[in-house]
Chains A and B, each alone.
Chain A
Amino acid sequence: MTPILKVNNLKTYFKTSSGLAKAVDGVSFEIPKGGTFALVGESGSGKSITALSIIQLVPEPAGYIAGGEVILNGTDIVPLDERKKREIRGNKISMIFQEPMTSLNPVFTIGDQVMEAIVLHQDKSRTEAKRAAIEMLDKVQLPDPERLFNEYPHRLSGGQRQRVMIAMALACKPDLLIADEPTTALDVTIQEEILKLIREMKAQTGTAILLITHNMALVYQNADVVGVMYAGKLVEVAPGKALFRNPMHPYTVKLLRSIPGHEKRGKALDTIAGTVPPATSYPKGCHFAGRCPREMEGCAMIEPPLTEWAPGHQAACHLYDAAFMSQPHSRPLRQEPDILPPLTVPPAEREALLEVKGLKTWYPIKKGVLKRTVGFVKAVDGIDIDVKKGSTLALVGESGCGKTTAGKSILQLIRPTAGEIVFKGRDLSSLKERELKSHRSLLQIIFQDPYSSLNPRLTVRETIEEGLKAVRPGMKREERIEKVASVMERVGLSPEMMARYPHEFSGGQRQRIGIARALAVDPEFIVCDEAVSALDVSVQAQILNLLKSIQRDFGLSFLFITHDLSVVEYIADEVAVMYAGKIVERAPTAEIFSNPKNDYTKKLLSAVPRIDERLVSGWRLPGHDILKQD
């Protein structure tokens, strides 16, 4: 059977001021009718550019397709002229994007937007198109499609908008649907519904799906075939289950082992040394060579082709190549151990460091000329939690449930409406701003976005120093610099980087700077507000390891605010589930995951995509002697 889509040695380059960036550097794969191909990789691996190249929407003029073929139903669409390409887009290939909030035009009704594609590509009158559009809205299980047809996008929730996007994408019954991170911006319970919908639509129409994601568990549950992308190249392609049963490429193994989860509690997560090389200067051979735990002498020079080593299972690695391994350049350069070091935190103390009783943070809704208060948004509506010294409490919940407000209210960054926050025996909420000042340094916060959390105009030293200046005004300059150097070293940054500006660092390094900033004032309690959510999984693993190790070394207590339950399973001692401003369930981590009592908790936990945990222990780095073992 001929595949719907065949991508052949696709190369998409970008002209940049620092040279030619090979964003996609020779990618080949195919998708059969009704198949789902998942492209996974960390940010910057080139997976989104691959998608844009397939739909012929490479951002011009900087980017261009430098070579290769994109064969759709037997025709190469790269050389077609723009008019023909437009006929294909939205008709034969359609795409749904990550951000449902911005992918619909707010000034047109839902109906107009769904109809647009139908009128454009199908020879239908407006009444027929309207009927077809309503039918599509019904198919994606939106309630009351007739009424929705005349609604504007702002009246819809994120999940509903994504359904509209899917309706638009599937309106013309495309041969191929590209879903670029379709659920990343959505809550986990909605994610599950959207993916179910995509699966059902696929079963109905036979549309092939290219699923682009960084979420491995999502891939495990949804993909027929998986392609792992690294630095512009596919390093491994295998049927979904085979990849997770027996990952071959060292990168894939490392990536899988860096995913947090309860199986890995008490151990460090696997991390990948170094950073992804810039797209302008890839090594001549294997792009992963410089970071590979099994690098051999020839790896950086000789490119490993993507070769099928087991039925349907391709990997681009010299380790499996008998001819390469018999040569002298197969001498190992690096030989990392396969076993991960333990990383345990001593058990928490009995006494509570922080007790929150009946915390309420309400925002007044004001109306009219006199700004009368007509009601309240009850962001946090009476929560009780306590955090024991040296332990981690995870506050989980979906977006808008009030968990971030709760964290900021505890730190008194937002003054709560009511309730007590007792920290070391003193109620913080009753303190005046001046009295609070002496407590400030003991309670710190680490933020989600490593980009907006650092002032771009201050050097790293100035950033870390700020807290010291505020908390210990009497400290001498030399002492301060010494302290900054020591915390930088502690979080794994070289103190020589002190004079640099934030933009010179990667996301992970910025997050380390944020941690160093909090650590500099010797806190006892840190709120981690989605502290690892914006990071790639391998970087996330490094930061989680770092957080655990500083907890161990300094006896810190964490309030870990997150929506990512695999992180919770890995790091938290206790979990509090928050829903609509209230805590619905609180229990030790193991208990809540094995035996949730509240209905909402059950729904939340069952929606989380999971990789079969029996597979986890089987993820082993291939040895240099892998061929001899067989």
Chain B
Amino acid sequence: MPVILATDLIVYFLAAAIVYFAFSVMGEGIAARAWAGIRTNRLALVCMAVLFVYFSIALLDSVRYRDRVFDDSGRHALTEKGEAIYSPQALSLLDRALSDLRTNTEKSYSAPFARYLFTKESVELPNGEAVRDYPAMKHPGAHWLGTDKVGNDVLFSAIKGVRTAIVIGAGTTLIMVPFAIFFGVIAGYYGGLIDDIVQYIYTTLASIPGVLLIVAFMLLFGTSGYQGGLISQSQISLSFFVLNERLFWLALILGITSWTDLCRLIRGETLKLRELEYVQASRAFGVSKPGIIARHIVPNVMHLVLITFVLQFSGLVLAEAILSYIGIGVGPQMGSWGNMINTARLELSRDPIVWWNLFAAFVFMFSLVLPANIFGDAVRDALDPRLRTGKGWH
């Protein structure tokens, strides 16, 4: 029985967008121009490959279904009415592919590649004597990045965090960018009353402390939401769809609170662009206002969108960590780097320190954010005809 979370739709949308761009590269639109610029940029290609791997993980982690429950005799269990019974656990394709990593748990902390646990325990020797020593692990050497406090594989947790990060980073941006562009451009271009209204809205939003708004929102909507792990029947609508999901509410509220900065930037840039002479020339031809906005304004503010996107990406992942800390993040059972960083606070104060949780989160985050930055820059440059020939001072 398939289960689709609200945030899965975001991932599917991204996947569809990627497929669409991959096809339109063969045409001669913007995508083709961008591709022509990126194709020759080896670094950007490497970054694209890394991003592609990350995205594939997120996509695999977004296709999930519930297995049927077996009864004692090994047959599919049925309700009294004869309906199939499904397990409350919706495992994704990724969970299933990495089921070894997922299920090979230890008792507690163990360092990367360790054969013995990290902390001493009372171990009973074969002769019945009890000594304090490092107990042997169930799966010695199998945990490349060690295990966490409850013995879960850290590598697996980090991989599970990929989807969360992509949903938070890209999903939030997807929610916010259309608002920011639309309101920013119409405020800047039309001016007058429309400008006043838009400015009023974003000034009001920006004047409410963001964290307060997020906390209030999450407490209102997020508390009963699905937060990883087992699904309760009440969270499911239409027998397979989960709208009430904490991660989704989080992406939504982060989107609502973060579009104002970009909107302000775009409004300012539009105010500048609308006075430029090519816009005036366009007006002298009688081109309509939406036509001018589409041809002359939006393409010339896209660089702001790209810059904001890559700059906000890491900020959003961190915001998720902070919110997890105060208990309104994505929830402990849905793997996230924020949770890992959060638990690492206590681990770093131990002696000797438990560093691998933080390390894993850091490595995974770094190797997502850095390529995203570089790739974002490459796309921006590729879309800017002035930079395409690579001419310098002359």
Contact = CB atoms under 8 A, between A and B. Distances in A.
9 contacts: A16-B392, A413-B284, A436-B286, A441-B286, A449-B277, A455-B300, A459-B385, A501-B385, A504-B389
A453 B284 contact: no
B394 interface: yes
Interface stretch (A146-154, A222-230, A332-340, A463-471): A463-471
Contacts of B384: 456-457
Interface of B: 276-278, 280-287, 291, 295-296, 299-300, 383-386, 388-394
A503 B384 CA distance: 10
Nearest to A523: B284
B281 A445 contact: yes
A466 B386 contact: no
A621 interface: no
Contact of A467 (B285, B388, B389): B285
A278 interface: yes
B281 A453 contact: yes
Contacts of A504: 389
Interface in A414-470: 436-437, 440-441, 443-445, 447-449, 452-459, 463, 466-467, 470
A444 B284 contact: yes
Contacts of B278: 452-455, 463
Given A452-B276, A456-B386, A18 B392 contact: yes
A242 B244 CA distance: 88
Nearest to B391: A18
Nearest to B196: A371
Given A408-B280, A445-B281, A456-B386, A278 B286 contact: no
A17 B392 contact: yes
B254 to A, nearest CB: 31
A477 to B, nearest CB: 13
Given A447-B277, A452-B277, A470-B287, A17 B389 contact: no
A466 B391 CA distance: 28
Q: Which of B280, B284, B384, B391 has the most CB of A within 10 A?
A: B284
Contacts of A280: 394
A413 B283 CA distance: 7
Given A413-B280, A447-B280, A457 B300 contact: yes
Contacts of B276: 452-453
A18 B386 CA distance: 16
Given A62-B393, A280-B394, A470-B291, A455 B285 contact: no
A457 B385 contact: yes
Closest 8 pairs between A and B when the two form their complex, measured CB to CB: A17-B392, A440-B286, A501-B385, A453-B277, A467-B285, A447-B277, A437-B286, A503-B386
A318 interface: no
B285 to A, nearest CB: 4
Interface residues of A, number: 43
Contacts of A502: 385
Q: Which of A443, A448, A453 has the most CB of B within 10 A?
A: A453
A278 B287 contact: no
A14 interface: yes
Interface in A273-307: 278-280
A245 to B, nearest CB: 36
Contacts of A467: 281, 285
Q: Which of A449, A455, A466 has the most CB of B within 10 A?
A: A455
Contact of B284 (A17, A21, A440, A455): A440
Given A452-B276, A454-B278, A457-B300, A471 B286 contact: yes
A379 interface: no
A456 B284 contact: no
A155 B384 CA distance: 40
Given A447-B277, A456-B385, A503-B385, A466 B285 contact: yes
Interface string A339-361: 00000000000000000000000
A514 B283 CA distance: 14
Nearest to B30: A457
A501 B394 CA distance: 17
Given A454-B278, A501-B388, 16 more contacts: A17-B392, A18-B391, A62-B393, A278-B394, A440-B284, A447-B281, A453-B281, A455-B295, A455-B299, A457-B383, A466-B287, A466-B295, A470-B286, A471-B286, A504-B389, A521-B285
B386 to A, nearest CB: 4
Contacts of B393: 14, 16-17, 21, 62
Nearest to B386: A503
B104 to A, nearest CB: 54
A458 B386 CA distance: 11
B393 to A, nearest CB: 4
Contacts of B392: 16-18
B118 to A, nearest CB: 52
A520 B390 CA distance: 31
A565 interface: no
Contacts of A447: 277, 280-281
A413 B389 CA distance: 35
Interface in A227-277: none
Contacts of B277: 447-449, 452-453
A458 B30 CA distance: 11
Nearest to A439: B286
A350 B40 CA distance: 62
B197 to A, nearest CB: 14
A489 to B, nearest CB: 21
A89 interface: no
A517 interface: yes
A315 interface: no
Contacts of A445: 280-281, 284
Contacts of A453: 276-278, 281
A411 interface: yes
A436 B287 CA distance: 11
B390 A17 contact: yes
Nearest to B387: A503
B383 to A, nearest CB: 8
Nearest to B275: A452
B281 A471 contact: no
Nearest to A450: B277
Given A455-B296, A470-B287, A514 B391 contact: no
B199 to A, nearest CB: 13
Contacts of A14: 393
A503 B390 CA distance: 11
A517 B394 CA distance: 27
Nearest to B388: A501
A422 B277 CA distance: 25
Nearest to B298: A457
Contacts of A21: 393-394
A155 to B, nearest CB: 26
Contacts of A437: 286
Contacts of B295: 455, 458, 466
B22 to A, nearest CB: 23
B394 to A, nearest CB: 5
